[in-house]
Structure 1
Amino acid sequence: MNEIKWIKLSVDMFDDEKIKLLEKMPDGDTLIVIWCKLLTMAGKGNHKGYIMLTESFPYTEDMLITLIDRPAATVRMAMELFQRFGMVEFDETSSAFLLPNWTKYQNIEGMEKQRELTRKRVARHRQKQLEEPKPVDTPELPDGNVSGNADVTLRNGAREKKEESRKKKEDIKDKPHGQQVDLSLFESIWKLYPKKVDKKKAIAAYTRAIKKGTPHDTIATGLQHYLRYLDHNKHWLKPQDGGRWFEKERWTDEHDLSQPTRTSATPDHSQYDPSFGKELPF
């Protein structure tokens, strides 16, 4: 994210014909709330109107339903209406939703400046980590000055220990960004997980994976594939407990979405599972 804390809303927003039509529809107030939430999500991501979780990871419709926190049917109806009204478009190339008039109403110059400032700050931070301190010259003393040589040896030893400690700290700082554990990123994908069980175990597994060098985007993308797999087989497949899914690093699984995995030989769970056939909460 690029640290955008605000977006512009026109004072005559409710004079717009499209907004007036939306207000007159069933659940009109909810449609307006959904539209405002999409605006804030586009602003928070700061990707020129694209609604993205990260720069390479777009929100799917199911993810938007989860985060907007309104009835699924209402959100789907809203997205369809917004696209028919030209308020939202779906970019086939990036598989992402975008707001086509974003540059018309927002302070793009200011937002782009913020993106550039963020890039420069990151670049300065990395350059600072790479810089090594200048070596300190130790004055030479006459060979006969035993006491002086001893003092120099002690000072050098202390300096070497201090330098060694500093290098260890620099090594830790100089690790790739993917090794830094940002639990706010974990929270962003935990919100999407349909069965939020044993969160502490999930956090521990996520932290362990990030420290080992697994990029956050890899985990997020794996979860996206898992959600699609669940949706593809939602009439018989239930989601795994969240803690166990993260602990087993299930984001590495490969899922076949070409056809439902259940065959005629699979037992009919509806006969003994009262929750069979219910819609999953994502």
Structure 2
Amino acid sequence: MDWIKIMCNILDHRKIKMIRKGPEGNTLVLLWLLMLAEAGKCNRGGYLMVSDSLPYTAETISMVTDIALPTVQLGLTIFAGLEMIDQQDGIIFIANWSKYQSEDKLEKRRENDRERKQRHRKKQRDNLLALPEPGDVSRDSHVDRSRDVTPENRTEKKIEKTTTEQIHSLLSDTPFSVVSDNELIVLIKRHGEEKVELAADIAAVSWRREHKEIRNPGGYLQSLCVNPVLPELYEPPYVRAAKSKAAAERKRAEKDKQEKLSETEAQESIERDDYWHSLSEEARQKFIDDIKVSSPFGQCIPEEGAVALARLTAWESRSQMITNTGITGEHTH
């Protein structure tokens, strides 16, 4: 399996928020995402298996995710306590795995990819058959050289220079960058600025996707000026520029949001720790004992993991009580 489904609001999920507010929270969320990816690679219905007879262990997960073993053990304990994973005959598997994969859609995508590649290969063959002989464009490139220099000519040359610079910027870092200004000017006179700019952009976009060998860059541009075959999912430069600007604005907004979220989480972490320490020793121990009893790892659960999960459970219980009754339920020593 090449991909899994992850909802855009995964970080807003109640369990993920609880994990992030706990010890090594962000690392554990990363661990969870990496485990989902590993389960997808295993392609065994959510079971983490190296082979049919060799399941993943905490040590295996630590090795493939490059996350320290104690952190992995803590994560497995918390994930099990939150019913995000389970164990069957010693094999770890992702609970509700069907949420993260869709075989029918995966097969449909593969079929669409095959059809798209077939259409693209046909277009490439048609374009190659329509290419003019090498040098057809450059043979007419002398026509501009003998004109008298007049104010009108100077203005026209300035416009031509600006246009060719714009086209060269579209063609930069592609085989078409070798096309000379004179060749571009000839194409502009034949087909107009808009068609040449469109042809240049199509050529550059197509090459960056396919990296096909281009033996006659000028002739290729000429063919696209005559018959501009748009690549699949093509977007003109102004659309791409607008999307890029919008993406930058979203990135800035997301950064601001994350900074505010970090401040909020830091404050909540302090409040959560204060609440845990405000509980009596008996109350804290009861939360810890309940975790050990309910954990599929039983008494083998690491003490650090049991305490971490007990803190989260206590905080969630308090939050739920406030929601239901409005009573804070603060405890004192």
TM-score w.r.t. length of structure 2: 0.31
Higher helix share: 2
- Of structures 1 and 2, the one with the larger relative CO (CA 8 A, separation 6+) is 2
Which protein has the larger Cα radius of gyration, Structure 1 or Structure 2?
2
